[in-house]
Structure 1
Amino acid sequence: MSSGLTASVEAVPLLFARGVIARLALWPALRAAVDNSWGGSASAQKRTWLASELVDAFEASVPPGNAEQPDEEYVELNLLQAMEDEFDVVIEDDSVEPLARDIVALWAAARSGNEALVLEWEAKAEKMRGKRMDVNVQEVVDETGDGEDSEDWEDEDDGEADSEVPQLVERAIHKPEPIVDEDGFTLVQGKGKGRR
């Protein structure tokens, strides 16, 4: 009987990990971050790392007398911090709250051996595989260049709010200003990066 109990205890982290990976795959903010490589070329690996961090935190709470089981607030704070640290994304919608709630529910289901919830999330994730989700993203550009708060340039616009929200731009292309010599002629410049 003890070998069956050991096998089910060993199966809990694996079942939970499957559920967490599936649930994270459906989080629009993380999907956008990975799809657009906001975390660099290792964005997909960072998603896997985030899942493993959550699984490890819950798994550490299993032995008696060990750490307390993570709750929704713990999960939420860790997700927000990871998104900011790894993807430079600040989550300002309420999408992280139901995600944290679902992850805690997945842990309870895995502990009780209930695979149905995990299978449900995996089916939803499979359905969304390869599809792009619409995400409302606002890019914030640091115009001061030094990362400091923007109190100085708030005074310049007299507190007027912009009526138009800036759109996310993946890559800005800056054309160099034409060079005009003292006779008024515009100098022709080569286009390649390999100029010497």
Structure 2
Amino acid sequence: MSALAQQAPVDAAEIFANAVRAIFSRWTLLRLAVDQGWADGDEAQKADALVTRVLEMVAPSVRRVPDESEIADVLHDAIESTFNAQAEDGSVEEISRTILRLRAECSAGNVANALVYVQQQASSLDASQGREDEAGEAEEVVVAPAPAPLPIIDEDGFETVQRRRNPRRACAP
């Protein structure tokens, strides 16, 4: 028997679900919300519930795949209502796009990109298991938040106010 025939079959749905979990575990806003206690208790459980909700929306077994804006709406609503924050950095839309792209790839049997996300999560977890200094004591690893974007100043010296694009509030025809 060849080595290829001896390998277990690839479970694309499981790999996809693990990739989605990896994406959420690396989302800076969600990590800060959990680490800083922005949900008034049970932050980790609330973050897990959000991941589960999104996974249920995009599971391979669902009849109708949601579009990017539907996933983005769920993420915006959860961040605002559960964690008392706003995602104005475009991360929600990027996560929504990435999840749908990975879903399509995994549904077609191409799990290579999904595995990259899973492996990146595994390597980041290995690296953050705690470092020890020379005395053998655990060293705390501090993650700094991303800097705020620089303001846009027009030729008259006034700062341009940038509005957040919120597709949920758009009027339907």
Q: What is the TM-score of this pair, normalised by structure 2? A: 0.63
**Number of the residue aligned with 2:34:** 34
Distance 1:47 1:25 in 2: 9
Q: Does the CA contact (< 8 Å) of 1:72 and 1:104 recur in 2? A: yes
**Number of the residue aligned with 2:79:** 83
Q: Does the CA contact (< 8 Å) of 2:15 and 2:115 recur in 1? A: no
Distance 1:136 1:23 in 2: 17
Could you say if the C-alpha distance between residues 22 and 132 of structure 1 is closer, same or farther in structure 2, counting changes exceeding 3 Å?
Answer: farther
Distance 2:98 2:143 in 1: 19
Aligned pairs for 1:63-74 (under 5 A) are 66=63, 68-74=64-70
**Number of the residue aligned with 1:187:** none
**2:17 is aligned with 1:17:** yes
**Number of the residue aligned with 2:43:** 43
- CA deviations over 1:113-171 (Å, ceiling 9, x no partner): 22222221122223333465432599xxxxxxxxxxxxxxxxxxxxxx9xxxxxxxxxx
- Sequence identity of aligned pairs in percent? 28
Letter aligned with residue 84 of structure 1: E
Q: Which runs of 5+ in 2 are unaligned?
A: 1-8, 129-140, 149-158, 160-173
Letter aligned with residue 38 of structure 1: W
Count of matched residue positions in the alignment of Structure 1 and Structure 2? 127
Structure richer in strand, relative to its length: 2
- CA deviations over 1:22-80 (Å, ceiling 9, x no partner): 00111111111111121233111122111111111123x746xx4x2111111111111
Distance 2:30 2:61 in 1: 28
**2:101 is aligned with 1:101:** no
Letter aligned with residue 14 of structure 1: E
* Divergent runs of 4+, >6 A: none
Q: Does the CA contact (< 8 Å) of 1:15 and 1:115 recur in 2? A: yes
Distance 1:52 1:84 in 2: 18
Q: In structure 2, the residue corresponding to 1:113 is in which secondary structure?
A: coil
- CA deviations over 1:75-119 (Å, ceiling 9, x no partner): 111111111111111112112221111111121122122222222
Q: What is the TM-score of this pair, normalised by structure 1? A: 0.56
Q: In structure 1, the residue corresponding to 2:38 is in which secondary structure?
A: coil
Q: Which runs of 5+ in 1 are unaligned?
A: 1-7, 139-160, 162-196
Computing the radius of gyration from Cα coordinates, the structure with the larger value is 1
